[in-house]
Amino acid sequence: MSARTVLQQADIARALTRISHEILESNRGAGDLVVLGIPTRGALLATRIQALLEGIEPGSAVVGSLDVTMYRDDLARQPTRAPGRTAIPAGGVGGRTVVLVDDVLYSGRTIRAALDAIGDLGRPRAVRLAVLVDRGHRELPIRADFVGKNLPSATTERINVRLAELDGIDDVTISEGADG
């Protein structure tokens, strides 16, 4: 199965830099920002975004991770998943702007689960969504506020995000083989 590269390391870096600036602009600064990544690759991207935000406005956003495994509505269909790590920064999410970060936005079900999980943690002032790739095919009325790359794809194609921290390389490829 051959994979076609659609984003390379420099493209990903530029997209994350742009997303970071857009987050600051839409929030009118970094006050009360909480960046929560959805494990696994969303959490890695959230850490990168927080570092970029810190470089633009020191002392700005805090970062954490939000495991949504037990909030998913497709646990019966999916292979057994081990719950990931949830790490909420000190001060929680109440009254703050939460930026959820994930690698690929597809059906919207993961984000719906994340919204349920956040609701159990407190009541944020606002929740925004940042994704590296938006591939379409939504099943729920969810859209990203900040998108690295819109990548329309067939449902028979698979979007593969690899990040250096986990995979040794930064790239996004598209290949045949339906997503799960």
Fold observed for domain 3-73+83-176: Rossmann fold (3.40.50)
How far is residue 38's CA from residue 30's CA, in Å, rounded to a whole number?
20
Q: Residues 141-147: contacts with CB within 8 Å, 24+ apart?
A: 141/108, 142/105, 142/108, 142/111, 142/112, 144/105, 145/26, 146/19, 146/22, 146/23, 146/26, 146/99, 147/19, 147/105
pLDDT tens digits, the chain, 180 residues: what are they? 689 999 999 999 999 999 999 999 999 888 899 999 999 999 999 999 999 999 999 877 899 999 998 888 776 666 556 677 789 998 899 999 999 999 999 999 999 999 999 999 999 999 999 999 999 999 999 999 999 999 999 999 999 999 999 999 999 999 997 554
State which H helix or E strand residue 167 sits in.
Answer: helix 164-167
> What is the model's pLDDT at position 1?
62
